[in-house]
A and B are shown apart, each in its own frame.
Chain A
Amino acid sequence: DQQVKQNSPSLSVQEGRISILNCDYTNSMFDYFLWYKKYPAEGPTFLISISSIKDKNEDGRFTVFLNKSAKHLSLHIVPSQPGDSAVYFCAAVDSGTYKYIFGTGTRLKVLA
């Protein structure tokens, strides 16, 4: 029973274009969401987060959108750069427990 799903295992995008990574969740108790980026042989690195009281959060080229009614969040990267090529994980948190539930990841490849 996967509470957090990333249905696209991989995504390829041309350099300079927009990358859109998607994540769906089932548990309405989740109230905090994060995106992590992972390079091979390294640990995940925090990228951006959003609280359930917001529907958008921006940090430079990265924007996360949250649609609570659809239980869906997305990460937009504009413009995409070759250095963005990595695996991206979304995570959902019930702040009453502080436990993260991770999706299975999406491998993004940005083509030069």
Chain B
Amino acid sequence: NAGVTQTPKFRILKIGQSMTLQCAQDMNHNYMYWYRQDPGMGLKLIYYSVGAGITDKGEVPNGYNVSRSTTEDFPLRLELAAPSQTSVYFCASSYRNQPQHFGDGTRLSIL
């Protein structure tokens, strides 16, 4: 029972590089979310999706892009990495009106 799977677990990027953080869930959840957590802070919503083909911005979307072509997958794209994007990224999924299930996170450092 995999739940929410995030890859990679760790990554170091140089400023200006791009990368995609992968998120997959096997619970057939229609809602999926991307958060970032900075030290000493709560989780901040980056983007979310209520179903395949539908995405919307959260609190901190600048510098990121998402797509949702299938129910299972919700990748997060960083186009031009900046030091301010150093953070731990969490993906989550849920049914409507049900608690979100989280992956174990991707720790990203940008140097």
Query: Contacts A43-B90, A95-B97, A98-B96; is A4 near B42 (CB within 8 Å)?
Result: yes
Complex contact A42–B31 (CB within 8 A): no
Q: Which of B31-71 contact A (CB under 8 A)?
A: 31, 33, 35, 40-45, 48, 50, 58
Are B102 and A100 in contact, with the CB atoms below 8 A?
no
Chain B 74-109: CB-based contact to A (< 8 A → 1; otherwise 0): 000000000000000010100011011111110000
Pick the most buried of B4, B31, B100: most chain A CB atoms within 10 A of its CB.
B100
Tell me if A102 and B104 are in contact (CB < 8 A). no
Q: Is A85 an interface residue (CB 8 A)?
A: no
For B101, list chain A residues within 8 Å (CB).
46
The number of chain A residues touching the other chain, given as a range, is 20 to 34
Task: Say whether B45 contacts A100, CB under 8 Å.
Answer: yes
A104 close to B103 (CB less than 8 A) = no
Which single residue of chain A is at the shortest CB-CB distance from B9?
A41
Residues on B facing A (Cβ under 8 Å): 4, 31, 33, 35, 40-45, 48, 50, 58, 90, 92, 96-97, 99-105
What are 28 A-B interface contacts by the 8 Å CB criterion?
Answer: A4-B42, A34-B99, A36-B102, A41-B105, A43-B4, A43-B90, A43-B92, A43-B103, A43-B104, A44-B90, A44-B102, A89-B42, A89-B43, A95-B97, A98-B48, A98-B97, A99-B45, A99-B48, A99-B58, A100-B33, A100-B43, A101-B42, A102-B35, A102-B44, A104-B40, A104-B41, A104-B42, A105-B42
